[in-house]
Every structure is written in C-alpha cells, then in structure tokens.
Amino acid sequence: MPNLQLLIVDDEAKMLRALQRALAGWSGEESVQWEIATAESASEALARMETIPTDVVLSDIRLAGEDGVQLLQEIKQSWPETEVVLMTAFATVESAVEAMKAGARDYLIKPFKMEELKRRLAAVEEMVLLRRENRQLRTELARSQGLEQLIGQSAAVDDLRATIRKVAATDTTILLRGESGTGKDLAARAIHYASPRAKRPFVTATCSAIPESLLESDLFGHVKGAFTGATEKRVGRFEMAEGGTLFLDEIGDMTPGTQVKLLRVLQHGEFERVGSSQTQKANVRIIAATNRDLEQAIQEGKFREDLFYRLNVVSITLPPLRQHPEDVRLLAERLTERISLRRGLPRRSLSPALLERMERHDWPGNVRELENALEYALVMGESDPLEPGDLPGYLLRPSEEPVLPSGQAPSSLDLEANERQLILQALEQAEGNQTLAAKLLGITRRALGYRRARYGI
C-alpha cells in the first residue's frame, strides 16, 4: 500500500486539529494511506520538509507574520514535485491568480466543507501517484535499455561499458562503429539512458535505402504543400528528439544532399523543414552508427570529409563476438530468457553440448545471428534442455559433420537441400536405425523425426 505524506500548515491551532481529525484515516483510493503532519508556521513547515519527504502541502495563505505564497515559492524551488494546495478566507481574483502562477495545484476558500477538501485532495492524490508511477516506469525503462543490456563479463565488454559511462555524461557527438549485429543500437540507447538527457526522447532514424527527399522529410519534417503528397505539416525526427538524443543508424548510407543538411545542424544547431525558409533550433545530441569504412567512402567521394570529422568527435568501436567468445554462454542464456518472454514461448534451458557448440562458432553475424539461432531453436526444437540438433542446420560446422559414405561435401549452398542430404546419408549409414542416425548427426531422435517429417523422408 503506497503511503503519501500530507503536511498541513496553519497558524490557528483549532483549524489544524479540525483538518487533522477530518483527514485521519481518509484516502482518495482504498490502496493509499495518507500520513498527516502539521506545522503552525512556514519556518516550521520548511524545517520538517528538510528531513521528511512530503508529497502534498495544505497551507493557509495568511500565516502569522509570514506569507503563504512565499512559502509556496520556497517549496517549489527546493521540492518542485511537491504539490501545494492553498487555503484563504480573504479570496480575491488577484490572489488566486498569483497563487496558481506560483505553482499551487489548487485553491480553497474558507470556510469550505470537508467533503469539498477531500474531493480536491483526491485529485491531487491521483496526480502524485501518476507522477510516482511515471518515475518508476522511467527507472525501469532506463534499466531495461541501459548498460545492463550490454551483456558480457569479458574485458572487451567491460571496456565498452566504461567508455559509455565516460562519454554519456557529456553532450559530445559520438560515432559508433563495428560489424553488423554487434549491438550499436543497444550501445546508443545505453549512452542516452546514462546521460543527463535520459528523461527526454530517444529517437532513431535509419539512413539507408531511403530516397533523399523522403529521408530529408523524415529527419527535418516538411510543411504542407512542400511536394506532391505533402497534404499536411509533418514534424521531423530532429523535433521529435528535442532535448534528447537522435540516433542516426547506418550513417554511411546517407545521400550527399542530406549529408550537407546534417552538416549544417552539427555546425550551427539549426535546420529548416522541407519547403520552409523558417530556421529552427535543434537541441539534440547526435549519435551516429555505421558498419562501413567511412575513410574509404571519403576517398571514393561517397561521404563528406567535413561531416566525418563532425561526427567522429568520439569514436567507439564495438567488438565482434568472435573477439570475446567467453561471453557467448552468458549471452545465450540471457537471450533465451528474453526471447521466451517476448515471443510467449515456454522457457527452456540450454544443454552443455549446445553451449559448447555455440562457443566454437565464429558468429559472423555477431549477437544478432546468435539471437536468431536461439529463436529458431526455441520455436523449432522440442527438447528441454535444448540440444545442438535444435539449432539451425548451418551451425553444424564442416569439421563436426559426420563422416558419411559418400565422402563428399554438399555441392550446393541450399540449406534445406544440404540438410536433407545429410539426413539421408546418416540413415543409410545407420541402416535405418533412427537413434544411431541422430547420434551421427549430433541431434536428438525427436529432432531427427521432426526433420524427416519436414523433408518428407
């Protein structure tokens, strides 16, 4: 049951007692418990708030020798999320406007009925609980998308996390480099959620395979009538990311025209919507990512050198999985849990043989390939724990393939045809014994049965 702290401030002891009695044991929601304290002066109220966090303050405007509006201003300066409800017997339009401008949540005129006070406090309670819930959600989001997502215990991953912690505290433009599937998007999110901009938006824009006109509109927005089909104004991703982070993925594929406009944003912090001459300011942090060799692209005239130096203020290269194979086991176990949860699949463990097989693979597609292989195993496999035979067939490395009578490697790169051929050869060598054939192939008998049915064997 959540508790809310209410502090009542009034210089009339009789009024304090009446309010305390009326609100004792009351709450707007059954699941909420109010804890009530009192203070007879602004100074007493502020002293108490220094030691005990307070959610709501209910204060008279006229206190002995003190001003309730000034108390409100001091509260909002030191505790901006504390809600304040003011009471007064000398109401004027001017005093009400002054109170609301100073940050009061509500305004009550004495004398008032206790039921009216409870109704007003119930609305404030809802606001406080919503803010508390949003704060918890932001914390969970930061945890779910932050450094915890960079899984690994190797020196390579430890160094990556240390670098991210260092650069996250600044507003420096960052270029993430590395092979496809190494997790550049995860690193970008980790930087954002570890930065002072964490409470603001994280927006992703993919720069590849989009026509120049559409990419410019996507990034900078457009005005109505800017081009055929522009029937209404569109807000671009720079505006969506205001105050936060814009992640430009696959920056190496950006067209030359858009490169010029991006360079202007980086140089001057301003841009125009497509079809507009009105300049807009861009308060965003840029994180770019690429798996291309930008230096080579510069030599080939495909990427602007001046833009490269603007982006390459801090360059972070994410290590390919083959350079830290000691993390494969931990990655596989964590990814299996996530995939099961995300896809609504039964949770299953991974056998030592499967983990060993995974550790021997080079993973040219890096973590993305590992995740795809595990999802295949969870969907197609039937054993628990999952065995090597539940993995995609291509993970059966040539050095681990059974020595079959033909003595010939498959002549085609057709995965299904090769897998069917291997099953036929294994059954031939095992003289139809399915248990022995499954053993030759390094899979379970159930997995062999599934594959026989799949290929009509």
If one compares 282 and 136, the residue with the highest pLDDT of the two is: 282
- The predicted structure's pLDDT at residue 30: 66
Q: What per-residue confidence (pLDDT) applies to 424?
A: 85
Q: Is the pLDDT of residue 439 over 60?
A: yes
Q: Cα separations (Å) of 192 from 31, 308, 322, 441?
A: 35, 21, 27, 46
Give the whole-number percent of the chain exceeding pLDDT 70. Answer: 88
Which range, of 140-154, 235-249, 271-285, 414-428, averages the lowest pLDDT?
Answer: 140-154
> What does the pLDDT look like over 332-357, one tens digit per residue?
999 999 899 888 888 899 999 999 88
SS3 for 314?
Answer: strand
The one-letter amino acid code at 368 reads: R
Is residue 404 pLDDT above 50, yes or no? Answer: no
> Burial, 189: exposed, middle or buried (Cβ in 10 Å; 0-12, 13-18, 19+)?
buried
pLDDT at 407: 46
8 pLDDT band, cuts 50/70/90, is: very high
* Separation between Cα atoms, residue 79 and residue 87, nearest integer Å: 20
Cα first-last separation, the chain: 61
Cis peptide before 111 (omega within 30 of 0): yes
DSSP code of residue 242: T
What per-residue confidence (pLDDT) applies to 291? 93
263 has a pLDDT exceeding 90: yes
Q: Indicate whether 409 pLDDT > 70.
A: no
**Given this model, what pLDDT does residue 441 score?**
81
Confidence of residue 399 (pLDDT cuts 50, 70, 90): very low
φ and ψ at 67, to 5 degrees? Answer: -115, 125
In order of their start, the domains of the chain are 3-140 (3.40.50.2300), 156-319 (3.40.50.300), 320-399 (1.10.8.60), 401-457 (1.10.10.60)
pTM above 0.85, yes or no: no
* Average pLDDT along the chain: 84
42-56, 133-147, 313-327, 404-418: the lowest-pLDDT one = 404-418
Q: Which of 121-135, 225-239, 258-272 bottoms out in mean pLDDT, i.e. has the lowest?
A: 225-239
pLDDT reported for residue 140: 60
Mean pLDDT over 123-145 rounds to 73
Residue 104 has pLDDT above 80, yes or no: yes
**Which has the closest alpha carbon to 221: 285, 258, 276?**
276
Q: Mean pLDDT, to the nearest integer, of 26-45?
A: 84
* Rounded mean pLDDT, 55-62: 90
Give the pLDDT score at 343: 87
What Cα–Cα distance (Å) separates residue 30 from each residue in 7, 26, 126, 266? 20, 9, 12, 53
Lowest mean pLDDT among 210-214, 254-258, 398-402: 398-402
The Cα 53–Cα 451 span in angstroms is 63
Quote the CA–CA distance of 245 and 415 in Å, as a whole number.
Answer: 41
pLDDT at 285 over 90: yes
Would you state the structure tokens that stand for residue 310, as one six-digit string?
A: 């603007």
pLDDT at residue 286 tops 50: yes
Residue 353 to residue 329: CA distance in whole angstroms: 11
Q: pLDDT category, 405, cuts 50, 70, 90? A: very low
Give the other-Cβ count within 10 Å of 159's Cβ: 12
DSSP string for residues in 60-114: ESEETTEEHHHHHHHHHHH-TT-EEEEEESS--HHHHHHHHHTT-SEEEESS--H
- The pLDDT score that the predictor gives to residue 402 is 42
CA–CA distances in Å: residue 45 to residues 51, 52, 95, 168, 351: 10, 10, 21, 38, 62
Question: What is the pLDDT at residue 249?
Answer: 94
In the chain, what percentage of residues exceed pLDDT 90? 41
Checking if the pLDDT of 326 tops 60, the result is yes
